[in-house]
Structure 1
Amino acid sequence: MRFFDAHCDTIGKVWERGADFGGRDRGITPGNASDDQPGNVPGGQPRYHPGGDDLHVTLPGLRAAGARAQVFASWAWTERYRDREFEVAMNEVKAVRRLCEQYSDDLVLALTGDDISAACEANEPNARIAVIPSLEGSDALCGKVDNLAVFRNAGVRLVTIAWHDSPFCGSTYGSGTGLTDLGIELVEACEDAGILVDLSHSSDQTFFDVCRVATRPFIASHSNCRELCPSPRNLTDEMIREIAERGGAVGITLAPGFLSADYYRKTKSIYDEFWRAIEERSASSDEAGRRSSAAEALIPRPPLDLIVEHIRHAIKVGGEDVVALGGDLDGVDALPQDFAGVEDYPRVVELLMAAGFQPERIEKVCYRNLARVFRETVG
């Protein structure tokens, strides 16, 4: 089976910590992590990354999975990179491009919807994997819509408009406010530039504000069904229908707190404390992240087969053309049981087949739906 995943945070670990994307070692390449790595805080202490220095996404893993396209997100949250947001995000986008150059036999920078479709439909078993740079959160734009063009010229073809609150919009764990006038300009600029709008992390108000102003399909790259797991990061049935009616897609994610209602309840206090520490400035984002990671490690991981229920529910609500995959790999501290990294995506296919899903429907979930959305929106 071919795979197209809508969201991973791998490039942050590669750029900041020298994580070994091309080899079979999931961690830091010996000699790569030093005091002058961009991801070290003063004194040489490593930056916190979800999952530590291990990589969920590697080139051998992508090959083993049968991946045909992967979105690589650049994340430059103001709280962590204040006054360097543009610089950090651009360096991460450049790092994505360097991977495509370094592994040119395996990866290709995809700048158009046709590039992505060609990679997804190629019949050669070793066809190059389409790589799509994205921005996670609009912090990198520094409150200026004009900066979007700079990132587009660098290869960005998807923007997750929220991660936390910004001058453009409110977020799930922020104020809960909606699009600002500047945010409306951003959505319009994305559509004009052929950049796909992504509403994962957006507040409910931002989501429905985008529904009022958007004229093209949009996606939620890594969100699940709120009906099955009450995390506010998940989508209500109404949201799923809105995305479906506009021809967009929902990337079902592997994040345990969005898959399992029980896991969400057990970890909610951990992440409430994370955000409280940030708001009260009682800990840096790195310190708060390390604490939450250590606490979450004590919680038993949920079974992988919960992903089938989210896929089934999203199809029931929005139809088989709305469901896709967006694992949030390298952006989470834990993964479900029996899933260690991108190479384990075939396990999802096995579960879908065992649940009675037909091959044509599985293909839509695994890659066809996302390829269609990008083809229709990305210039």
Structure 2
Amino acid sequence: MPNTTSPVIFDGHNDVLLKLHNAGGLSATADFLTGRDGAIDSVSAAAGGFGGGFFAVYVPSPYDLDDKMDEMTKPEYDLPLPAPIDYKDAIPVVMAQAALLFDLEKRGALTICRTTADLRGALKSGKMAAILHMEGAEAIDPDLNTLEILYQAGLRSIGPVWSRPTIFGHGVPFRYPATPDTGEGLTEHGVRLVKRCNELGIMVDLSHLNEAGFWDVAQHSTKPLVATHSNAHAICPHSRNLTDKQLAAIKESDGMVGLNFAVAFLREDGQMLADVPLEQMLRHLDYLISHLGEDRVGLGSDYDGAVVPQDLTSCAGLPKLRQAMKDHGYEDALIAKLCNENWLRVLEKTWGK
């Protein structure tokens, strides 16, 4: 029998920290080692060959999640964006969630990686590798002082927005069918944020930016363009997905895209329903590879933050995805690139170390 837990998977996005925060904060981190009600923990990771990924810090908006999910099961939908979140409200949440990641490291559950050498070492040793990521920059002040402090603490990736607007730019709503061309792009603060991230070696994540913001980053950034958890708009015409023109720009910059497991961005009908066969994920992978090349595509599950295909509700199920890739005809070298090597490549180019 083939070893379907290898190659180890390094993943572009998860929301474990938000789930732990909502489950009680520091009192909930012990469950990560022994098993928890969620998609990622130490037990599931060992079973599925999950080597780590980008652990997002995210400040939630007050809304009824069940209503949102119900709306996204309809043939068409256009969810209104939540109101902006003020810095003073965001910063305590960000500090609390970042502290959870540090506590997981203290407990021996993972290693926070600040360089690609750290990342390679963790993956080789079998210790779960974590990159501190911020999904939405509400906790960054206009003078970028918080950015400097969080960088010193380990922040190595940031999305200027999570869909709702920030002082740095505008995101895409959850809208189907729709294009990502939904409004204004980066603000002056946003341009300064991108340039300072380039200087520090913090990756700028394009996944929730609208199309105007995408092109603003492309204009002002000197680093590869990266969307950590996005899919192909040509297959699923959702506002969150990337057009062929955007994919061409990512290829030209030598960046990459992580395939999002969220079913509303996989399904052709854009519905948030979990009965999605693995073949549909492979359709997106085929399309992304055809437009970006084999070196610029990876995985960006959105685990613990989205409805995912019923065969992959936990990272323990990832051997099914590897086997599906193999059965689809992907060679071992390509599977290794998709599972982790392409993330290592683009991070080395972005971080410079």
TM-score range, shorter chain: 0.7 to 0.9
Conserved? CA contact 1:77–1:139, under 8 Å: no
Aligned partners of 1:226 and 1:237 also within 8 Å: yes
Q: Distance in 1 between matches of 2:13 and 2:259?
A: 10
Q: State the shift of 1:246 in Å.
A: 1.3
Which of residues 221, 224, 245 in structure 1 aligns to 2:252?
245
Q: Which range is displaced more, 172-181 or 87-96?
A: 172-181
Q: Does 1:338 align with 2:311?
A: yes
- Partner residue, 1:49: none
**1:113 maps onto 2:116 in alignment:** yes
Given that residues 285 and 297 in structure 2 are in contact (C-alpha distance below 8 angstroms), is that contact kept between their aligned partners in structure 1? yes
Distance in structure 1 (CA, Å) of the matches to 2:311 and 2:255: 29
Q: 1:161 is matched by which residue type in structure 2?
A: P
Matches of 1:362 and 1:203, distance apart in 2: 30
Q: For 1:13, which of 1, 16, 19 is the aligned residue?
A: 19
1:181 maps onto 2:188 in alignment: yes
Secondary structure of 2:33's partner?
coil
Equivalent residue, structure 2, for 1:129? 128
Counterpart contact for 1:324–1:369, Cα < 8 Å: yes
2:85–2:166 CA contact under 8 A, matched in 1: no
Aligned to 1:306: 280
Aligned equivalents of 1:347, 1:165: Cα separation in 2: 37
Mapped contact 2:274–2:308 kept (Cα < 8 A) = no
1:84 to 78, 89, 92: 89
- Whether 2:66 is the aligned partner of 1:24: answer no
Q: Do the aligned residues in 1 keep the contact of 2:10 with 2:340 (CA within 8 Å)?
A: yes
Q: Which residue of 1 aligns with 2:335?
A: 362
Q: Percent identity?
A: 31
1:196 to 2:222 alignment: no
Q: Which residue of 1 aligns with 2:266?
A: 259
Give the CA deviation at 1:80.
8.5
**Contact residue 85 and residue 138 of structure 2 kept, 8 A:** no
Q: Is the 8 A contact 1:116 1:374 kept in 2?
A: no
Q: CA RMSD in A?
A: 1.8
Distance 2:131 2:34 in 1: 21
Cα distance in 2 for partners of 1:246, 1:314 equals 15
Q: 2:303 aligns with which of 317, 320, 329?
A: 329
- Matched residue, 2:160: 161
Q: 1:66 aligns with which of 36, 49, 53?
A: 49
**Contact 1:113/1:377 (CA < 8 Å) preserved in 2?**
no
Map 1:91-110 → 2, pairs under 5 A: 91-102=96-107, 104=108, 106-110=109-113
User: Which residue of the partner structure matches residue 3 of structure 2?
Assistant: none
Do the aligned partners of 1:116 and 1:375 also contact (CA within 8 Å) in 2?
no
Which residue is 1:150 aligned to? 149
Structure 1 unpaired stretches of 5+: 27-54, 268-298
Give per-residue Cα distances to partners, 1:295-324, cap 9 Å, x unaligned.
Answer: xxxx46222321101010000011011101
- Aligned pairs, how many? 311
Partners of 1:377 and 1:323 in 2: how far apart? 16
Show the counterpart of 1:4. Answer: 10
Alignment partner of 2:186: what SS? coil
Q: Contact between 1:251 and 1:325, CA under 8 Å: does it hold in 2?
A: yes
Instruction: Specify every segment of 5 or more residues in structure 2 that has no aligned partner in the other structure, as ranges.
Output: 1-5, 62-82, 175-181
Q: Between 139-148 and 9-18, report the one with greater CA deviation.
A: 139-148
Tell me if structure 2 keeps the 8 A contact 1:100–1:131.
no
Deviations 1:34-85 (A, max 9, x none): xxxxxxxxxxxxxxxxxxxxx1111111122222231110002565964320
1: CA distance, partners of 2:89 / 2:129: 29
- How far apart are the structure 2 equivalents of 1:326 and 1:222? 4
Aligned counterparts of 2:133 and 2:147: Cα–Cα separation in 1: 11
**Paired residue secondary structure (1:21):** helix
